[in-house]
Amino acid sequence: MTQQLLKIRGLKIEGKSDEVWKPIVNGIDLDLKKGEVLGLIGESGAGKSTVGLATMGFTRDGCRISGGTVDFDGVDLVTASAAVKRNMLGKRIAYVAQSAAASFNPAHRLIDQHTEAPTQHRLRPKAESELDGMGLYHRLRLPDPDHIGFRYPHQVSGGQLQRAMTAMAMSCRPDLIIFDEPTTALDVTTQIEVLAAIRDIVEQFDTAAIYITHDLAVVAQMADRIKVLLRGDEVEEAETRAMLLAPREDYTKSLWAVRSFQRPAKPAVSTGVTPIVSLKNVSAAYGKSPVLFDVAFDIHAGRTVAVVGESGSGKSTTARCITGLLPPSQGHIEFNGEALPLDYRKRSKDQLRQVQMIYQMADTALNPRSSIGDIIGRPVQFYSGLTGSAKRKRVEELLAQIELEPEQYIDRLPSELSGGQKQRIGIARALAAEPQFIICDEVTSALDQLVAEGILKLLAQLQDDLGLSYMFITHDLATVRAISDEVVVMKDGRVVEQGPKAEMFQPPHHPYTDLLLSSVPEMDPDWLTNLLNGRGVDNIGDAAVGKM
């Protein structure tokens, strides 16, 4: 007989913006039994982290709980005194934050931070907690578990820190742990080892957990039940398998559908055609440290080449070489069969026009002091010399092309637009130059899934209409699957493997491609279990990368 652990009723939270209190969460109910894992999913602004913290009776500065109850094992944490809450936190409810690197105190060793909660809550002496900590480090498969605790946070890698933080949360054997996007900041190959560790330890100690994430596939591995939030309201809640098979609400269905967007593949390029862009054995270095080695691939007219790799693989550097911001130290780049000058300052206006770029962070890519009309109008005027009403007409055309109402947006500032709209303006600015080739640098990774899907569809549509070629830089394999024709896999500044998409998603692969592909979580709730059974717990994450 499992008993009720947490009962939230009508939880309302408000946040202060411009001196006015505005609702963030409008009345959420939530129940959790002992040992149960609830997945809390939603896009940014859904209020999932706020709810997670409120479960601990805590709000960030500038927020307040304005109504409802949070009943944890018979105590209402909303009205409880600070002393009562303190006695719960850490001991019975623990928290695992998104960024372990920022959430560990840089001035203390890991083990000292680990033992702090049990010592302060007078559960057991420090020496005992230390031994227990090492035990947990073992259990979580941290390297050198007996000594790693005596290091400082900056001496330990991100994935290891995240596991050490899970161990820290476990130090008092709490009844409930809140996981707040614990793997969002990690690479896929690292994510998987953290996921495995968390799931293992939560099962082992029969701890209840609330797992907050925006990633459906991840939550499918971790949670028994899933609750979907949208702008501070609950959309629906169901058992994980039931929810995955048959979501009830339209919003949930649309979230699920994102995963299935896939552009039909194009036929293979016939040999002998001159590619639009061709990298010929490009090597490059920042100062004296080399970052790219012998990179070579082609991008053909009207096609999309996805460049995939984890952080530090050199994919953005490749883009900088093509644009001429970082002239290669060796090799060269051909455009339509002609060699481009290596430095962008030596390229002609027309050469510059032909290669355009769309950036990851639309916030920093648009001048916050220029109106939308000016941002798009400038390249129109600069390259085609249009002015006055002709220019305005062209800008309106471009806005219509990116599916934004021209009259409504032309005079606005970027700060008045949403993230997805800003990214569309970035696209329009690139189109304004009427290029043949556009580099898309992680254009969807800062966006919510639904919005990202809209951007991908728009890019695909534009490609069909205008015959554009894309180089698509991404770390997300779902994006690769959705949009690419050819794939280039990079690791440590080298091309590991390249070929048409169909081939790349079929074995046999290069071992690194294989690792990368198999590390991407899938919507199947048994995916992680199967993977671990297949590969073995010691052959995931850093350990597996290390064997390459």
Partner 1 sequence: MGSIFQIILQRLALGVITLLIVSMVIFVAVNALPGDFAQAILGQGATDEAVAQIRADLGLDQNYFMRYFSWLGNVVTGNLGISFAQMNFASNMGGDQLVGVVEQIAPRFKATMFLAGVTAMFAVPISITLGVLAALYRNSIFDRAVNITTLSSISSPEFFLAYILILVLAVLNPIFPSLSNVYEGMALGEKLNRTMLPALTLTLVVTAHMMRMTRAAIINLLASPYIEMARLKGISPMRVIVRHALPNALAPIINVIALNLAYLITGVVVVEVVFVYPGIGQLFVDSVKIRDIPVVQACCLIFAAAYILLNLMADILSILSNPRLRHPK
Partner 2 sequence: MSWLMNLIFLLIVAAVVAWVFRFAGQKITGNKPFFRDMPFAVAFGYVVGLLVLIGAVSYYFRPVEVNGVPAAGVIFFRWAVQGFIGFAIAAYLFRLFGRTVGTSGTRKLFRAMPLTAAFGVLVILIYALVSIFAGSIAPYGQEEIFANANIVPGGNPMMGGDPNFPLGTDQIGRDIYSRLIYGAQNTVGIAFATTCLAFFVGGSLGFLAAIVGGWLDQILSRAVDVLMAIPALIFALLLMTIASVWSNQLGIDRTIFMILIIAMIDSTRVYRLARAVGQNIVVMDYIEAAKLRGEGMGYLIFKEILPNATAPLLAEFGLRFCFVFLTIASLSFLGVGIQPPLADWGTMVKDLSQFINFAAFAPNVATAPLLAAGAIALLTVAVNFVVDWMLHKSSGLKD
Given 61, 338, 350, 465, the residue binding partner 1 (CB under 8 A): 61
Q: Which partner in partner 1, partner 2, none is near 368 (CB below 5 to 8 A by kind)?
A: partner 2
Taking the C-alpha atoms of residue 536 and residue 516, their distance in angstroms, rounded to an integer, is 16
The site for partner 2 (CB under 8 A) is made up of 16-17, 19, 61-62, 79, 81-82, 323-325, 344, 347, 349, 352, 355, 357, 359, 361, 364-370, 378-379, 382-383, 429, 433
Three-class SS state of 178: strand
Q: Which partner in partner 1, partner 2, none is near 256 (CB below 5 to 8 A by kind)?
A: none
Q: 104 to 133, contacts with partner 1 by CB under 8 A? A: 104-108, 116-117, 120-121
Residue in 250, 235, 258 with CA at minimum distance from that of residue 42: 235
Q: How far is the CB of 318 from partner 1 (least distance, A)?
A: 28
> For the CA atoms of the chain, what is the radius of gyration?
26
Nearer to partner 1, 58 or 527 (CB): 58
Q: Which partner in partner 1, partner 2, none is near 34 (CB below 5 to 8 A by kind)?
A: none
Would you state the structure tokens that stand for residue 62, as one six-digit string?
């500038």
Q: 77 to 106, contacts with partner 1 by CB under 8 A? A: 85-91, 94-95, 97, 99, 102-106
- What is the DSSP annotation of 21-60? EEEEEEEEEEEEETT-EEEEE--TTS-HHHHHHHTTT---
CA atoms within 13 A on the CB side of 283: 8
Per-residue exposure over 492-512, b if at least 16 CB sit within 10 Å of its own CB, e if not: ebebbbbebbeebeeeebeeb
Nearer to partner 2, 64 or 241 (CB): 64
Q: How far is the CB of 182 from partner 1 (least distance, A)?
A: 13
Q: How far is the CB of 30 from partner 1 (least distance, A)?
A: 18
Q: How far is the CB of 258 from partner 2 (least distance, A)?
A: 26
- Cβ neighbours of residue 404 closer than 8 Å, sequence gap 6 or more: 421, 424, 425, 428
Helices assigned H by DSSP within 146-292: 158-170, 188-204, 216-222, 240-245, 250-258
Q: Which partner in partner 1, partner 2, none is near 22 (CB below 5 to 8 A by kind)?
A: none
Q: Which partner in partner 2, partner 1, none is near 90 (CB below 5 to 8 A by kind)?
A: partner 1
**176 makes contact with partner 1 (CB under 8 A):** no
Three-class SS state of 115: helix
Would you state the structure tokens that stand for residue 286, as one six-digit string?
């920042």
Would you state the structure tokens that stand for residue 210, as one six-digit string?
């609330």
Nearer to partner 2, 318 or 323 (CB): 323
Nearer to partner 1, 153 or 435 (CB): 153
Q: How far is the CB of 106 from partner 1 (least distance, A)?
A: 5
Q: How far is the CB of 425 from partner 2 (least distance, A)?
A: 11
- DSSP category for residue 108: S
Taking the C-alpha atoms of residue 212 and residue 227, their distance in angstroms, rounded to an integer, is 10
CB 56 within 8 A of CB 65: no
Nearer to partner 2, 380 or 515 (CB): 380
Nearer to partner 1, 150 or 387 (CB): 150
Residues linked to residue 30 through DSSP beta bridges, in sequence order: 8
Q: How far is the CB of 444 from partner 2 (least distance, A)?
A: 16
Q: How far is the CB of 5 from partner 2 (least distance, A)?
A: 25
- DSSP category for residue 218: H
Nearer to partner 1, 116 or 492 (CB): 116
CB 136 within 8 A of CB 205: no
Residue type, 297: F
Note the residues at the interface with partner 1 (CB under 8 A): 53, 56, 58, 60-61, 85-91, 94-95, 97, 99, 102-108, 116-117, 120-121, 151-152, 154-155
